[in-house]
Amino acid sequence: MTTEQDTCPNCSRLRQQLSEKDQALQDLRSQIEELSRHDPLTGVLNRRSLIEMLEAELQRALRTGHPFCFAIMDLDRFKEANEQYGRPVGDVVLKTVADTAVKLLRTVDRFGRLDGGEFGIVLPATWLDQGMIAMGRLSKAVAGCDWAGIAAGLTVTFSAGITTNAPKDTSELIVKRAEKALSEAKQAGRNRTVQIEEALPDFPPMDLE
């Protein structure tokens, strides 16, 4: 009786090679997907991925009623620092800030780079006052890094705006509120976090008679 192994002595080896190539292809696809979701310089989430996380958290909050915060932080005078110390130093600054934030924030928090020296943070299950405390800790940690060891005279701080979710919110509205709060932080002198909430709707006065 002739078996498949007799008629095709190399089939087993070929099947093994094909399986290994399929696995390698799957691994490559996973790596490409991972790279497409992260900022290549800092390794944190990129803008697209962070906004996806914000939208997911918003949907979760709508289902559960739990609050969350979203913050945007922008490194103070980062453009001027790049011009003074050079882009390589600027890249180290971005990476150091990102590493500091990832180490300090909770594992459930989502941190990403939005653009240039601007980062965003999604803080699940967090009231606004708790979010302010978290941003204060992060501000202290960033300012306390050994910036002089990177470049003589270098100091790094950030301004931030933080908001919380509100009824009938969208991710676009949340981002706009955080951006408005960030702008107010810069106008107030930088190196600070400003909080902002969605304004409550106007109600007609009650007739108590």
**Single pTM value for the model:** 0.81
Q: Where are the beta strands (DSSP E) in the chain?
A: 69-75, 110-115, 118-123, 158-164, 193-196
Look at residue 177 in the predicted model and tell me its pLDDT. 97
Is there a contact between 55 and 171 (Cβ–Cβ < 8 Å)?
A: yes
Distance CA 96, CA 125 (A): 27
- The greatest distance separating any two alpha carbons of the chain, rounded to the nearest whole angstrom, comes to 104
Q: What is the pLDDT along the chain (209 residues), one digit of tens a residue?
A: 455 555 566 777 777 766 666 655 554 454 555 557 899 999 999 999 999 999 999 999 999 999 999 999 999 999 999 999 999 999 999 999 999 999 999 999 999 999 999 999 999 999 999 999 999 999 999 999 999 999 999 999 999 999 999 988 999 999 999 999 999 999 999 999 999 998 755 545 555 55
Identify the residue whose tokens are 């240039």.
116
| Closest to 185 (Cα-Cα) out of 101, 85, 18, 72 | 72
What domains, with CATH codes, occur in the chain?
47-195 (3.30.70.270)
pLDDT at 135: 98
Distance CA 162, CA 193 (A): 7
Residue 209: predicted pLDDT: 52
Q: Distance between CA 119 and CA 135 in Å, rounded?
A: 12
pLDDT of residue 30: 47
**What's the pLDDT at 34?**
54
